[in-house]
């Protein structure tokens, strides 16, 4: 009987050791899997987070714009328009700044074209616009926004309208901030504005921007800020650039509120582009 009890006790002791061993091994496996999952998540998220925007910011443009706001002077925001301009490139930023004005009156918004007397059709001719000013009488912009168009339109426009490129160049000399939307960066490139800077454009036009060897062309970013220059990627990224500018001047709370009103996720990544 005593021998039987000793055998049972010894057997139970072995079982307990086995159970403890299994628990320890299971704990190690679970912790390892959790660590690997976290590492994988970070590896997946980090590139896209980094790809959202590329910023080499200097304080001067922001400070100059904030000084105007502090002095209660309207900040002039000029939107360049030309034949066959991409409607979303133009209207997206216009809408952002208009909503910012409704919350915190800061900007004088206006459009500029070669002639204020001539109607300007958007891409496809579905929207016809008349600009506020022509090149000859437009006020100096504090913020200049250059929307894009189809690459062939950009080429024909830059080839046939040297006065447009000259106006961009002259305005840029005294802007506090110059921003392009989509292929609008190709016009900035043709005007010599981007020389010596980082920039981006629509992914289908990257090779065209790369033809200018004086520019460091960045890919897979929503926008690039280099000093006072902001270049945005394709079409809707004009919203990212505009909301970024509003955040610089009016604050993050207003920029985020506008994003919500527009049902636009400012923090989206670019994984869908891969």
Q: How confident is the model at residue 6 (pLDDT cuts 50, 70, 90)?
A: very low
Q: What pLDDT is recorded for position 104?
A: 97
Q: Tokens for 98?
A: 């208009």
C-alpha–C-alpha distance, residues 193 and 196, integer Å: 9
Average pLDDT over residues 2-12: 47
Q: What pLDDT is recorded for position 269?
A: 67
Mean per-residue pLDDT of the chain? 85
pLDDT tens per residue, range 196-254? 999 999 999 999 999 999 999 999 999 999 999 999 998 899 999 999 999 999 999 99
C-alpha–C-alpha distance, residues 126 and 123, integer Å: 7
pLDDT tens per residue, range 53-102? 666 656 677 788 888 888 888 999 999 999 999 999 999 999 999 999 99
Q: What pLDDT is recorded for position 121?
A: 96
* Structural contact between residues 147 and 202, judged by C-beta atoms closer than 8 angstroms: no
pLDDT tens per residue, range 94-148? 999 999 999 999 999 999 999 999 999 999 998 999 999 999 999 999 999 999 9
Catalytic residue annotation: 182
The CATH number of domain 57-273, selected from 3.40.50.880, 3.40.309.10, 1.10.540.10, 3.10.180.10:
3.40.50.880
Q: What pLDDT is recorded for position 57?
A: 57
Q: What pLDDT is recorded for position 52?
A: 62
What string of DSSP letters covers 26-44? Answer: HHHHHHHHHHHHHHHHHHH
pLDDT tens per residue, range 175-199? 999 999 999 999 999 999 999 999 9
- From 166, 207, 168, 208, select the one nearest 186 (Cα to Cα): 208
Q: What pLDDT is recorded for position 14?
A: 53
What is residue 201's DSSP assignment? -
Rounded to two decimals, what is the model's pTM? 0.79
Q: How confident is the model at residue 26 (pLDDT cuts 50, 70, 90)?
A: low
Q: What pLDDT is recorded for position 39?
A: 47
Q: How confident is the model at residue 45 (pLDDT cuts 50, 70, 90)?
A: very low
């Amino acid at each position: 009987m005593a021998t039987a009890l000793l055998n049972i006790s010894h057997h139970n002791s072995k079982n307990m050791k086995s159970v403890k061993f299994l628990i320890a091994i299971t704990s190690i496996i679970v912790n390892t899997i959790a660590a690997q999952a976290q590492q994988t998540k970070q590896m997946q998220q980090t590139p896209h987070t980094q790809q959202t925007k590329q910023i080499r910011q200097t304080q001067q443009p922001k400070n100059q714009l904030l000084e105007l706001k502090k002095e209660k002077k309207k900040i002039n925001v000029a939107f360049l328009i030309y034949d066959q301009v991409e409607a979303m490139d133009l209207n997206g930023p216009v809408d952002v700044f208009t909503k910012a004005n409704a919350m915190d009156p800061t900007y004088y918004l206006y459009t500029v074209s070669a002639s204020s007397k001539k109607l300007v059709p958007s891409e496809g001719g579905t929207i016809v616009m008349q600009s506020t000013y022509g090149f000859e009488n437009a006020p100096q912009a504090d913020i200049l926004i250059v929307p894009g168009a189809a690459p062939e339109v950009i080429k024909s426009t830059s080839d046939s309208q040297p006065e447009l490129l000259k106006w961009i160049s002259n305005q840029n000399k005294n802007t506090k901030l110059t921003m392009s939307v989509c292929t609008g960066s190709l016009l900035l490139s043709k005007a010599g504005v981007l020389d010596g800077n980082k920039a981006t454009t629509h992914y289908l036009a990257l090779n065209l921007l790369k033809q200018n060897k004086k520019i460091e062309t960045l890919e897979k970013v929503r926008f690039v800020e280099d000093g006072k220059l902001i270049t945005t990627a394709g079409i809707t990224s004009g919203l990212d650039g505009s909301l970024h500018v509003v955040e610089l001047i009016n604050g993050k709370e207003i920029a985020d509120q506008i994003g919500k009103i527009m049902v636009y996720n400012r923090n989206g990544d670019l994984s869908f582009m891969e």
